[in-house]
Structure formats: C-alpha cells, structure tokens
Amino acid sequence: MAGSHTDTHCPYCGLQCALRLESDGTELAVTPRDFPTNRGGLCRKGWTSAELLTSPHRLTEPLVRQADGALGAASWEEALDTVGRQFRTIRAEQGADRIGVFGSGGLTNEKVYQLGKFARAAVGTSRIDYNGRFCMAAAAAATTRAFGLDRGLPFPLEDLDNADSIMLLGSNVATTMPPFLKHLRRAQASGGLIVCDPRRSATAQLTDEGNGIHLQSAPHTDIALLLGLTHIVFAEKLADVEYLESRTTGAAALRRSVAAWWPERVQHLTGVPASQLRDTARRLAGGRSYILTGRGVEQHTDGTDTVTAAINLALALGLPGRTGSGYGTITGQGNGQGGREHGQKCDQLPGCRSIDDPAARRHIAGEWGIEPDKLPGKGVPAAEILRHLGRAEGVSALMVNGSNPAISGPNASAIRDGLKRLDFLIVCDFFLSETAAFADVVLPVSQWAEEEGTMTSLEGRIIRRRRARPAPSGVRSELWVLRELAARINPAVHFDDDPERVFAELSRASVGAPADYSGLDYSVLEHEEPAYWPYPAGSTGTPRLFLDSFSHADGRAHIRTVVASPPPPSSGPLLITGRLLEHYQSGAQTRRVTELLASAPEAQAEIHPELAEKHGVAEGDQIVITNEHGRMRATAHVTPNVRIDTIFVPFHFPSDQSVNLVTSDATDPLSGMPEFKSAHVSISRLSGTQ
C-alpha cells in the first residue's frame, strides 16, 4: 500500500505484539511485525485494531449531564470548569478523600504516572487505585513476598523456547494471547506442556496426543493441587536440596507443611488422578522447567496464597533465579506491568516505592514540588472504593480513566447502584462505555495510534507506542486533560502534557527505586533495543532478574507456607469466568469492532451435557444463572469441555448478560483481589429453541 506507515504495538494485551499501521490516506490497515513476543503473529483483535480509530461510535466532544438528565455536548472549557468546580467544592466541603480516582493497566506509563500525581498532588486524595487490582494483584503480592520484587516475568519470554516443561496454571494463552503459543512448541514437542484448568480450554487441548498433561481440577482447588505436587517432590527426593539450602529461607517448614498432602488425598479434593500428579511432579523435576500462573488461579479470595503455593513448588524444584527455568505470572493488560509501577496503586508511589516509606515520600514530594507531609498516605484497594461509592464511608466523586467497572467489577449490580449514588462521576474514554453512561461529565481522549507513550510489556520490557495519525478534532490527550484539570484544582503543582517530558520526570522519580527507569529516555527506546527494568542510569537494563540473588535484604527467596481452605459446601454448580478470543475485557472496545461482534455477539454459558440434561437445557437455550448477588442471562453451549460440576461464562457482555452480576466482591485480604473465578449458582432454562 502506498502512503504512510508507522511501526507500533497492538493496543490491547500485555504481549504487546508489534504491528505496522499503514494508511493510504483513506483506509487504515494493520500488518504484523516481527518482534520477540509475537514473532510476526497477531490475533484477531490485533488484526482488527485499526477499526477502533475510525469507529463511528467514537466520542468527539465532551458530554455534560444536562438539566433534563441526559448527556449533552459541551465545550472543553465548560466541561473542564465543571469538573474543576465540583472537585474544589467536594474537597472543601467533604475532604479530599471523598474524591476517588480509578486508573488502569491500559494506560501508558506516562498517563499512569500523571494520574497518580494528579490524585495525590493536585486533588490531595489517598483514594486512588486501578483495575490491575482485579488482574494480577494476587501474583504481585505473592512475588513481592517471595522474591522481594514484582516483575511478572523475571526473564524474557523467549527463554521459554528452550524449555522441556512448561506448566500453565489457570492460563488460557491459546485464547488470550495466541502468538504466545510460538514459545510453547519445544515443551509440547517433548511432551512437557502441563495445563491446569477445570475446562478443556483451547490451551488444555494442546496437551492432547502426547504433548503434555491436562490437570482438569475442580475450580478453586489449586492450593491443594500445588501442596500435593510439592509433597511428591519431597517424597520422591526430587527437591533441589542444595538450592533450598543456599538460596531460600523456610524450606524445612515447607517440607513439613506438605507432609499430609499425599496424592490420593489431593485426588479426592481436586478430581485429578494421583498418577497424573506424580507424572507432573516428575516431569517438572526432569529438565528445564517453568511454572507460570494466569488469572484462573490468581482471581480468588486466596489468590496470593495460591500463587505462593505455585512459587513454593518452583522453589522446591530450584527453578527461580536461574537461566533456563523459573516462575512467572502472565500479566494481562497492555501496560499491566507498568500500570503497577508508577503510582496508581493505593499503596505505592512511582517506581514501585512504598507510600509508607519516609525516604520515598521525600523523594517523590521533592520531584513534585510539595512538602512530604502534604502527600496523602495509603488508600484502599479498588473493590473497596467501588463497594462504598456514594456512601458516608466511601467517595462521593469518582474519576475513571481506562476502566469499565459497571461490567468488569465484581458484584456489578452493586457497582451500578453505587455509580448512580455518586454526587459526581467523570469518565475519560474514547467510547461511551457502560460506566461512562452513568457519568456527569465524559471527556473524549485520544487512543493508541494517536499518542506517543511507553508501555511495559508482560516481560518487563519498555517499548514505545507511536503516534501514527492525529486524533479527531474535539478529542484531547489524557495528559492534556490532566494538566488542565490540575490547573483548575491546584495550580501550584506543575503538570506537563508532553509525553517525552513526562517520561523524563517519571525516570527521575524512579531513581534508585525497585522499578528503576532512570537510564531510559525516548532516544534510548527509539530503535526497539531490548530495555528491561530495572534500568538504572549507566546500565543496559536487566533481562533476567534474581540470577545472583533475590531482592530481599538477605538475598534469599522467602518461603511462606500456605494452607488450603476447605472447599465451601456445594450447593449447585460452580460458575467460573474468563475470556473469549474475540473480546477484550468489558468489551467496551471489541463490541464496537464489526467482525469481532459478529463472531461473538452474546454471552454463552459452557455447560457439560450431563449437567445440561439434569436441568432440561439444550444447546442454544436461554438460561438464567442466579445466586444471592443477582441474576444473568446466557445462551447455553452444551460441551464436554467443562467439568460436570462447572459452568464457564465470559465476562465481556453488557446489561443482563454480564456475568459479574453473579460474582462476589469478597476479596483476598493480602492483595484486594476479588473472587472472580468461582461462584455457587443455580441455573434454570428460560426458553427453548424448539
């Protein structure tokens, strides 16, 4: 195609596949580029991502709630003044902590940094958190506890290429990151792909024909499974005793804690045959092995402990901190990694610094030109912000940047009620998401190919996002919006809207921090040289972490023993939730892409033939799924690929097809992660197809 082209990365997930956006002046086209994560591959979402830019659904002017209750077009001046006035009034009358800010792992590093600075230095609130709390927060808490640092993959993805065995726990990369499969081929060819999932997911099916092992455990029994595997490792003398001695603390307690988890007991609890458990442990011990976790094991009220059990198994085998083996979590969102580093977590300042650390507070306050004691303290995690919306103990105003919690938050009907209760809701988005539809002010912002910025991929590698075309007139960049709002709320603090300068500020703010970016600037990142953090000034970055020592002061990995909570009394089937290939998250973007919507237009519930028969449900029937939280509607898809006791529903759909109408907002005390992946439900047939 003649015309211009820009080399950039996919707007969606954490794999950050490289692509080229070509324009002949009227049409836009996407082609894949070669890059270590995607090796020239793209999934359907990547291929169709250009449609997001030209979608007729795009917001192109600010919207403000009118006297008649409808959203109506407004000038930027009017919309920004309204927000400024409301924030000033609420802060003066109710206190800054009555204003909440809800960020996202979809934002560039620059926006994440600016959003945290906006909340804490312009508004002065501690009430900031983000959707990553619903994503890999449990793994972040567990890896920080075990290794002293949270980088999802502490090694380049390409290291997987040489593995003999790869264990995927609650991860369905064949659907959620298709080009990732290129890195599993050797393990598959040597029979070493091990997938733990209550469904015969697309990824689990890759273990067929001698390519590996599918552990089809009951939902939410992963801790028992992992304790059982660790038991076998010790019982069969497969543990790396020398490694445990020299590189960890707590190994003796670990050995004791798994003593009673013999395989037959684990089989009884999980449904996984003892012989499969033994095969798995032997395989993992027998070569270059990796253990990777996904949302299936992380999104539980004991998610941190579940990941800890996976890390403990990896440590018993001596995998982490060595070339050619390891543990990692597969970060999901485009900037899910950077999103948890630069200061939108309720307990962190930029660089993954603790907000309770006086030296960190001094450093950041100095960078922002405020007194350290003016920096708010620790806030509350996302689910707690959402649980108390519009109530005395919560926030009365909320600003949302890059999330759609009316669909994606746990116990969504309560969130929708909360959003309605708020005195003031402002949403920055490029579409009128289901959350934006509740807003008092909606600000249209530019999107991926209209902005410069950086993203930190699932490998901890910093890459450039490139501007290929101007945003539609009427649309503004989020950095500009934050600068303008800050000027109306606290003009004393300087806010820039130039991404390169914001990155320079972020780099300075991160000097000496765990996530140190201080050796990076836009010119270093110009030619896609590999740049893995920590990247202190004068270094060339850190592709592999922990090779010499872990990040705790004593240099060792800290083993914490965990216990398996007893399974809740069973009443009806267990609902699990997750993803389809076609849709991204709340679906706010992909439901607006013609091809993707046509291919997956509605919520289907995967249900086993025997369970379907028991409830008189046939393929294509409308069913209702209910529990104490609410009810949702789905179309039955009868398939032997789920366990008999389990129903699977994706969470991408709106209105009464939102599966989060029946999920609980109970959270993991250690990470704030909600229980997205198991809920007791009843099902009934609403209508038939015949």
Ligand X SMILES: Nc1nc2c(c(=O)[nH]1)N[C@H]1C(S)=C(S)[C@@H](COP(=O)(O)OP(=O)(O)OC[C@H]3O[C@@H](n4cnc5c(=O)[nH]c(N)nc54)[C@H](O)[C@@H]3O)O[C@H]1N2
Query: Which residues make up the interface to ligand X (CB under 6 A)?
Result: 13, 104, 106-107, 131, 134-135, 169-173, 175-177, 196-199, 201, 217, 219-220, 222, 294-297, 299, 332-333, 401-405, 408, 428-431, 433, 445, 478, 576-579, 581, 583-586, 588-589, 648, 651, 659-660, 663, 676-678
How far is residue 414's CA from residue 629's CA, in Å, rounded to a whole number?
9
402 touching Mo ion, by CB under 5 A: no
Judged by CB under 6 A, the residue of 74, 177, 463, 580 near ligand SF4 is 177
CB atoms within 10 A of CB 555: 13
3-state secondary structure 552-594: CCCCCEECCCCCCCCCCCCCCCEEEEECCCCCCCCCCCHHHCH
Strands 193-196 and 212-215: parallel
Beta bridge mates, 630: 627
Beta bridge mates, 441: 64, 426
174 touching ligand SF4, by CB under 6 A: no
Which of 244/632 has CB closer to ligand X? 632
CB atoms within 10 A of CB 563: 12
Which residues have CB under 8 Å from 533's CB, separation 6+? 151, 341, 456, 460, 462, 515, 516, 517, 541, 542
Closest distance to ligand X from the beta carbon of 404 (Å): 4
Which of 12/368 has CB closer to ligand SF4? 12
Tokens of 357: 């650390």
Closest distance to ligand X from the beta carbon of 579 (Å): 4
Judged by CB under 6 A, the residue of 21, 22, 28, 46 near ligand SF4 is 46
The partner in contact with residue 363, picked from Mo ion, ligand SF4, ligand X, none with C-beta cut-offs of 5 to 8 angstroms by kind, is: none
Closest distance to ligand SF4 from the beta carbon of 660 (Å): 21
Closest distance to ligand X from the beta carbon of 123 (Å): 17
Total site size for ligand SF4, rule CB under 6 A: 14
Which of 304/335 has CB closer to ligand SF4? 335
Which of 140/593 has CB closer to Mo ion? 140
Closest distance to ligand SF4 from the beta carbon of 10 (Å): 3
Q: Which stretch binds ligand SF4 (CB under 6 A): 176-184, 312-320, 375-383, 661-669?
A: 176-184
Bond into 534 cis (ω within 30):
yes
Written as one letter, the residue type at 378 is K
194 touching Mo ion, by CB under 5 A: no
Dmax of the chain from CA atoms?
73
Site mask for Mo ion (CB under 5 A), range 319-358, x = bound: -------------x--------------------------
344 touching ligand SF4, by CB under 6 A: no
Total site size for Mo ion, rule CB under 5 A: 2
How far is residue 415's CA from residue 100's CA, in Å, rounded to a whole number?
14
Closest distance to ligand SF4 from the beta carbon of 180 (Å): 7
Residues 429, 59 contacting (CB under 8 angstroms): yes
Residues 156, 463 contacting (CB under 8 angstroms): no
3-state secondary structure 169-191: ECCCHHHHCHHHHHHCHHHHHCC
412 touching ligand SF4, by CB under 6 A: no
Closest distance to ligand X from the beta carbon of 104 (Å): 6
Strands 622-627 and 630-638: antiparallel
Judged by CB under 6 A, the residue of 8, 17, 244, 670 near ligand SF4 is 17
Closest CA to 151 of 325, 334, 297, 336: 336
Q: Which stretch binds ligand SF4 (CB under 6 A): 7-15, 140-148, 438-446, 464-472?
A: 7-15
Closest CA to 397 of 80, 63, 95: 95
The partner in contact with residue 438, picked from ligand X, Mo ion, ligand SF4, none with C-beta cut-offs of 5 to 8 angstroms by kind, is: none
42 touching ligand SF4, by CB under 6 A: yes
Closest distance to ligand SF4 from the beta carbon of 173 (Å): 9
596 touching ligand SF4, by CB under 6 A: no
Which of 45/361 has CB closer to ligand SF4? 45
135 touching Mo ion, by CB under 5 A: yes
SS3 content of the chain, % helix, strand, coil (to 5): 35, 20, 45
Closest distance to ligand SF4 from the beta carbon of 19 (Å): 7
Beta bridge mates, 646: 574
674 touching Mo ion, by CB under 5 A: no
Tokens of 209: 């024909």
Torsion of CA 216, 220, 224, 229, to 10 degrees: 40
Q: What element of type H or E holds 105?
A: none
Closest distance to ligand SF4 from the beta carbon of 434 (Å): 21
CB atoms within 10 A of CB 687: 9
Angle of helix 222-235 relative to helix 274-285, nearest 10 degrees, comes to 60
Closest distance to Mo ion from the beta carbon of 534 (Å): 24
Judged by CB under 6 A, the residue of 21, 28, 43, 425 near ligand SF4 is 43
Instruction: List the interface residues with ligand SF4, window 611-630 (CB under 6 A).
Output: none
Q: Which stretch binds ligand SF4 (CB under 6 A): 122-130, 174-182, 226-234, 559-567?
A: 174-182
Which of 296/332 has CB closer to Mo ion? 332
Residue 281: alpha-carbon gap to chain centroid = 29
Judged by CB under 6 A, the residue of 62, 156, 178, 405 near ligand SF4 is 178
How far is residue 144's CA from residue 131's CA, in Å, rounded to a whole number?
19
How far is residue 109's CA from residue 122's CA, in Å, rounded to a whole number?
19
- Residue ranges binding ligand SF4 (CB under 6 A): 10, 12-13, 15-17, 38, 42-43, 45-46, 177-179
- Residue ranges binding Mo ion (CB under 5 A): 135, 332
